[in-house]
Amino acid sequence: MPLIRMLKAVLKKVRLVIPVFRLDGFVGVDSPPTVRPTSREQALSFIKWIKHSARITASRVCVYFALLAGAFAPALLLAGDGSSDAVRPSNILIITADNLGYGDLQCYNSKSKIRTPNLDRFATQGARLTGFYTASPTCTVSRACLLTGRIPQRHGLTNQLGGVAGNYGVGLSHDEILIPQILKTAPTPYTTGCFGKWNIGFAQGSRPTERGFDEFIGHASGNLDYYFHNYRQKHDLYHGTDELHREGEYSTDIFADAAIDFMRRKSKTADPWFCYLPFNSPHFPTAGNKTRGEANVWQAPGWAFEACGYPPDESNPDKRYEAVVYSLDVAIGRVLSTLDQTGTADNTFVFFMSDNGAFRLNRKGLDVGSNEPLRHGGVTCWEGGLRVAAMARWPTRIKPGSVITQPFWSPDLLPACTKIADAALPTDVKFDGKDPLPILLNNAPSSHKSFYFEYRSHAALRMSDWKIVRDKQNRAWQLFNIADDPVEARDLATSHQNKAAELADDFARWQKSFQH
């Protein structure tokens, strides 16, 4: 008891309204926690209560916890590396794959021969999403939608950037606000890093470090050579805005290593961090990036071929693709292991998705990714182009091993990040994303009435279990019940004319909203 009286006397000096500490809990105002905190969740709950009831600052919470360090050491250790982890917002890690097929992963398609043990394990640690959509079926546009929380018809970047001029032009309007810029306005500002494929413009003012990211290692274009890092005839690897020459190193590993280094350094500080890791893998190889006479084949490290049971000079494109995806999975595994090693896994929201579906354009040796059982693939508005493999993990919040079928889409990640950071959304911007955390944490119903898609001549709209699709503007809508017919094989437009008309009217409603 003398120690308790001494603590109360000291805390009274800093004008704290405090609870009386005792072995079985707390006694105080406004219904404090009734059990001694022995877990990270209880520690966080106690901090929130003490800040509310006593109306004190974070610095005084630190004083309080310093004085009670002996009593609360177990709970504080469970919160992370130290007491600073308990009071700071969660870190955010968003990982994207490039053109990865919905059916490439065994956790989505048991027939797949591709081994991805790290992503399979990740799916058991959080939620596997079976109704998640990218807002556009092509690389450039999907990235713009993710980062802005807006669909193409609002942010204006409606087509893939082409050629050196396009990829190094303005791209996404400078008026658009990106996730890292919002996180910078949070009560506890985030440190931000981007490592990988940018692909939304690289002119002055368009580059990552000019749009809210503190650090960047990556490339400007939609695809680069995995080892020589060129796009067409232009060198295309950068550190910030300066060229970075690391020829001979595998690009997937360069980006994973950069993210790992960022997370290790920033996890030692008091500030939360946001890491955006858009891998260029497993994007198909591009003939325009090869020198004359060089084979245009899938590129993977020798160890990846060996692990898959193939020689480095394997000629079968399906097997070469398998090695590419396997090497991506290993890189993702190293990144996730870093969270464990730094003690930040429990306080980090991790989201993984493919930017769009695998391409199925009948190009020999290139279109080998699988979207099975979904129809078609990238650059189309069929399910294979839009519905993508996605997973989310947030320990103690997202139920491990859960499967979430509720539909939501990539623009929802911006409000999710905003909510996690306790930041505020700009009030003068029309966002198409809605907070998906109730879906992820509680499997709540989707808050979206419908989802609008349009890319070139393709268009679609999903409303509840129904979807209309057309691949040319002058063609009639086809209607599918996605719940009963995910492969979009049975057109019900004739037998369900009222339903088709209802969705077509909603498509028109969306279009009208773009005029304001």
Domain boundaries, the chain: 2-86, 89-448, 457-513
- Prior bond of 373 cis (ω within 30°): yes
User: What's the CATH fold of domain 89-448?
Assistant: Alkaline Phosphatase, subunit A (3.40.720)
Percent pLDDT > 90 in the chain is 82
Q: Are 212 and 179 in contact (CB under 8 A)?
A: yes
Whether residue 76 is predicted with pLDDT greater than 80 in this model: the reply is: no
**Is residue 74's pLDDT more than 90?**
no
Any bridge partners for residue 485, and if so which? none
Cα-only R_g, the chain: 25
Q: What is the pLDDT of residues 18-36, one digit of tens each?
A: 333 333 333 333 334 433 3
Strand pairing of 402-404 and 234-235?
unpaired
196 Cβ neighbours under 8 A, 6+ residues apart:
96, 218, 219, 255, 276, 277, 278, 279, 280
Say if residue 39's pLDDT is above 90.
no
Task: Record the pTM.
Answer: 0.85
Topology of domain 457-513, CATH: Arylsulfatase, C-terminal domain (3.30.1120)
274, 192 Cβ separation under 8 angstroms:
yes
If pLDDT is split at 50, 70 and 90, which confidence band does 145 have? very high
Q: Which of 52-66, 159-173, 298-312 has the lowest mean pLDDT?
A: 52-66
The residues, ordered by sequence, that sit 6+ positions from 498 with a Cβ below 8 Å of its Cβ are none
Predicted confidence band of residue 87 (pLDDT cuts 50, 70, 90): low
Q: What is the mean pLDDT of residues 466-471?
A: 98
| Angle CA 121–332–365, to nearest 5 | 100
Each residue of 345-384: b (16+ CB within 10 Å) or e? bbbbbbbbbbbbbbbbeeeebbbbbbbbebbbbbbbbbbb
Strand partners, 196: 218
Work out the pLDDT band at 17, boundaries 50, 70, 90. very low
Which residues lie below 8 Å from residue 381, measured CB to CB, with a gap of 6+?
Answer: 137, 453, 454, 455, 458, 459, 460, 469, 471
Question: What letter represents residue 152's amino acid?
Answer: P
55 or 319: which carries more pLDDT confidence?
319
Give CA torsion, residues 270, 271, 274, 277, to 10 deg.
-40
Mean pLDDT for the chain overall: 88
pLDDT at position 89 over 80: yes
Of the listed ranges 9-23, 35-49, 174-188, 285-299, the least confidently predicted one is 9-23
- The confidence band for 292, taking pLDDT boundaries of 50, 70 and 90, is confident
Which residue matches tokens 């060996």? 306
| 3-state SS class at 61 | helix
Say yes or no to pLDDT of 42 above 90: no
